[in-house]
Structure 1
């Protein structure tokens, strides 16, 4: 093995994919340890407090994921050590330690300074997840957008300091395809206007606005200018999103997945428009839309692409309407129903529907 030079050994180690196998290789000798680090492209950081001890061994990383609290200085070290990063995920989930989605991170958790450092030193970034990092605000996001010309995915869910100022910069991004703003409750219609009139209107495929409860029909209506949008989530966006906004959304004919959960002022009017115009719709969730009736649900009967229909807490939808829709919409694979409907739906009807598609009681 001593005859192996670094280049030859590197070619061998690049073919070793399994993490445990790579760890074993790194324990062979000092040369193998060094070259294994140089050829490592992905790394998961489970103990950020040890970052300074092991990170310098991996200067060529393109994927880095981290769990728990990570400081500005940690992120600055990452940016300095790994300039070729393409994917940065600061919301790593571990199977043995599942973090609560609403867990509050410590006072030293990363903020704008750390994000700015990454933005400056890692221009090749394409996917960035900053979910739950509540100390990150507009300054870091604006710098990230300006520096990362190839950024395609940006997850800012639960980054509660984000405002319309950040969305103005995001709207100018030229390659963004996925944007998650869940729980960014300071976002308003003005911010949505930036997304709908900027470069993102031609690139965005998925937009999550869950719990952005300051937006209204005016802002939602502007989203129809995002011409190629395939997935839109407006769950829990509040009572100021009504059929006016819903009908406007129906003009986006490319839509495949829609979530209107708990929009209490959405009714059959919106569903009729969606069924008529969004012929590529694959999944729709209207949980908690109490104004919806069987007439709105039956409008989906002729859709040839619909696979998932969720109707939990839709108390004006009866079993007969569900049965008719399932029988006529042959593409349906899964229907989500309220548990309360189960006791009123005849067993024979349930058995008949279960033979056609999967019933999920919620």
Structure 2
């Protein structure tokens, strides 16, 4: 008799003589209803057949030690989701692409386990995955839908261009803190026809020209969320182009610098589907932007005005009768008094 213990169910016993009559397909059907990772681990320890089938039916994997990939990854050829927050090399990703060609969700957001100095952070690109590794993934995994590459310092235009050209179903692309990404990559992203979420946080080489290229492409008809916070070369000229993104529902321009003023703020307000705005620390935004946002963004749910020093109670009062606003962040807005805030809250709808 073989005893199988699942974390949410009492142990049960399976006669070993009957196990021999079950093929891999039958075992796969059983494993399809086992979702808990600990339960799957218990099942895989029953015998070699269960171990083999559990690996072939596994859909997601989080890798903590990429150095050991070649030892265990071949057991999971049908993965749909691959995640690793550790340093990973180009050759590692080449092996992943050849071993697991059906991957749809790739999360390589770097999350160091300890505090690192800025000098070391700048060197990550020398020892971590770069454009060559992303090109291998793009070539080998053509079904990619979501790709997250945040803080991978070695990734630049070459890898991004290869990725967006090969992954025709790509809907989410996170390039936050990929500091080598430039306007050239945005031109390729602009030509994509399925991307809905694009994160360019801290991509400081991006300029107004890049936003123009992004807005003129097919992506302007599909993009719903755009993060360009801390892209401090952007000015009103680039923000004006965003008006062409007719489906945009969420925009984050936090800390884009003094070049974004009311001209850019009013332009953003003209995007009618907008639901969430982040104008944090745009020090040249004034009440004029708030008047436009309150009037034109009728479906707005949340707006963050942290550090917008020039706004006053007059601009905030424009939201008093807004029909859908749920969150208004006013931290470090020193010209907005407590009495005005109380008045706004009392006038707000249920």
User: Does structure 2 retain, via aligned residues, the 8 Å contact 1:206–1:231?
Assistant: yes
The residue number in structure 2 matching 1:6 is 24
Aligned length: 329
User: Does structure 2 retain, via aligned residues, the 8 Å contact 1:69–1:106?
Assistant: no
The residue number in structure 2 matching 1:244 is 263
Kindly state the Cα deviation for residue 98 of structure 1 after the two structures are TM-superposed. Answer: 7.3
User: Does structure 1 retain, via aligned residues, the 8 Å contact 2:196–2:223?
Assistant: yes
In the superposition, the TM-score normalised over structure 1's length comes to 0.88
For 1:155 and 1:320, the matched residues in 2 are separated by 41
The residue number in structure 2 matching 1:83 is 101
User: Does structure 2 retain, via aligned residues, the 8 Å contact 1:55–1:81?
Assistant: yes
Kindly state the Cα deviation for residue 93 of structure 1 after the two structures are TM-superposed. Answer: 5.6
For 1:319 and 1:100, the matched residues in 2 are separated by 40
Q: Deviations over 1:64-123 (max 9, x none)?
A: 1002100000100110001001000002769xx577797823732000000000001111
The residue number in structure 2 matching 1:335 is none
Q: Flag the 1:39–1:188 CA change in 2: closer, same or farther, 3 A.
A: same
Secondary structure (helix, strand or coil) at the match of 2:319 reads helix
For 1:9 and 1:43, the matched residues in 2 are separated by 20
User: Does structure 1 retain, via aligned residues, the 8 Å contact 2:86–2:111?
Assistant: no
Q: 2:201 aligns with which of 182, 186, 197?
A: 182
The residue number in structure 2 matching 1:277 is 296
User: Does structure 2 retain, via aligned residues, the 8 Å contact 1:185–1:211?
Assistant: yes
Specify every segment of 5 or more residues in structure 1 that has no aligned partner in the other structure, as ranges. 332-362
User: Does structure 1 retain, via aligned residues, the 8 Å contact 2:104–2:143?
Assistant: yes
Q: Deviations over 1:165-219 (max 9, x none)?
A: 0000000000000000000000000100111110011000000001000010000
The residue number in structure 2 matching 1:339 is none
In the superposition, the TM-score normalised over structure 2's length comes to 0.91
User: Does structure 2 retain, via aligned residues, the 8 Å contact 1:65–1:92?
Assistant: no
For 1:178 and 1:284, the matched residues in 2 are separated by 19
Secondary structure (helix, strand or coil) at the match of 2:127 reads coil
Secondary structure (helix, strand or coil) at the match of 2:292 reads helix
Confirm whether residue 141 of structure 1 aligns to residue 177 of structure 2: no
Kindly state the Cα deviation for residue 61 of structure 1 after the two structures are TM-superposed. Answer: 0.3
User: Does structure 2 retain, via aligned residues, the 8 Å contact 1:101–1:132?
Assistant: no
The residue number in structure 1 matching 2:282 is 263
Secondary structure (helix, strand or coil) at the match of 2:169 reads coil
Confirm whether residue 309 of structure 1 aligns to residue 328 of structure 2: yes
Q: 2:226 aligns with which of 198, 207, 213?
A: 207
Q: Flag the 1:51–1:189 CA change in 2: closer, same or farther, 3 A.
A: same
The residue number in structure 1 matching 2:253 is 234
The residue number in structure 1 matching 2:210 is 191
The residue number in structure 1 matching 2:15 is none
Specify every segment of 5 or more residues in structure 2 that has no aligned partner in the other structure, as ranges. 1-18
CA RMSD of the aligned region, Å?
Answer: 1.5
User: Does structure 1 retain, via aligned residues, the 8 Å contact 2:125–2:153?
Assistant: no
Q: Flag the 1:106–1:214 CA change in 2: closer, same or farther, 3 A.
A: closer
Confirm whether residue 55 of structure 1 aligns to residue 73 of structure 2: yes
For 2:44 and 2:117, the matched residues in 1 are separated by 35
Confirm whether residue 71 of structure 1 aligns to residue 89 of structure 2: yes
Kindly state the Cα deviation for residue 324 of structure 1 after the two structures are TM-superposed. Answer: 1.2
The residue number in structure 2 matching 1:318 is 337
Q: Flag the 1:145–1:6 CA change in 2: closer, same or farther, 3 A.
A: same
For 1:4 and 1:101, the matched residues in 2 are separated by 55
Runs of 4+ in 1 over 4 A off after TM superposition: 97-103
Q: Flag the 1:92–1:283 CA change in 2: closer, same or farther, 3 A.
A: same
Kindly state the Cα deviation for residue 51 of structure 1 after the two structures are TM-superposed. Answer: 1.0
Kindly state the Cα deviation for residue 321 of structure 1 after the two structures are TM-superposed. Answer: 1.1
Q: Flag the 1:99–1:308 CA change in 2: closer, same or farther, 3 A.
A: farther
Confirm whether residue 21 of structure 1 aligns to residue 21 of structure 2: no
Kindly state the Cα deviation for residue 49 of structure 1 after the two structures are TM-superposed. Answer: 1.3
For 1:73 and 1:160, the matched residues in 2 are separated by 22
